[in-house]
Amino acid sequence: MQFLFALRSRGVTDSAVLGAMEKIDRAPFVRGIFSARAYEDMPLPIACGQTISQPSVVGLMTQALEINPRDKVLEVGTGSGYQAAILSQLARRVYTIDRYRRLVTEARVVFEDLGLHNITAIIGDGSHGLPDQAPFDRILLTAAAEDPPGPLLAQLRVGGIMVLPVGQSDQVQSLIRVRRSEAGFDYEELRPVRFVPLIEGLGQE
């Protein structure tokens, strides 16, 4: 299938991640005039001035998380819900949070339609994470922070992994992987990326 070939050619090689991306159709997450381009490896605009990431970046970020089937995952930045849907195929439980009520409401409908019952979508300020559900085995940010946010680092379990874009919003950002050990945090730079900035507070629709 052309879609999977494109993913492999861009470095998505983990068989479990490829299997999840084969199972979850991107089309229900892309609305309106862009729906015809759902299978192209490109970011597309969605509501509230946000974007749905290109599939290869979704695949690379998911792969970098090294998810185990028993893991509890926090995603900051629900957006279209596509990334959370992919995560739901690999983890036991996915919590996804977004500052825009409309995005969360629309994503919940798609999750319900697709029978993805291990996702909890929450309207809130993702920069603070979800303290009442912490700690998490894996944390994924789909918005760029200048530094890994302290509250999210604190909610990462020892042995856990966080993947996020870091950098100024108007410059090229770096995708980094943070591993938490007993001794502290180890940081690894993965690749250049470009994401919308992580903004505190709730969004105005």
Residues assigned a catalytic role: 53
Q: Token match 């950098």: residue?
A: 167
135 cis-preceded (ω within 30 degrees of 0): yes
CA angle 116, 120, 124 (to 5 degrees): 145
Strand order in the sheet with 93-98: 119-123, 93-98, 72-76, 136-141, 156-166, 173-181, 184-193
Please say whether the dihedral angle defined by the alpha carbons of residues 142, 148, 152 and 157, taken in this order, is positive or negative. Answer: positive
How many Å is the Cα radius of gyration of the chain? 16
Residues 6+ apart with CB under 8 A from 90: 16, 17, 20, 62, 67, 69, 71
Question: What is the C-alpha to C-alpha distance for residues 126 and 128, in angstroms, rounded to an integer?
Answer: 5
List the structure tokens of 120: 């909890």
List the structure tokens of 99: 């500052």
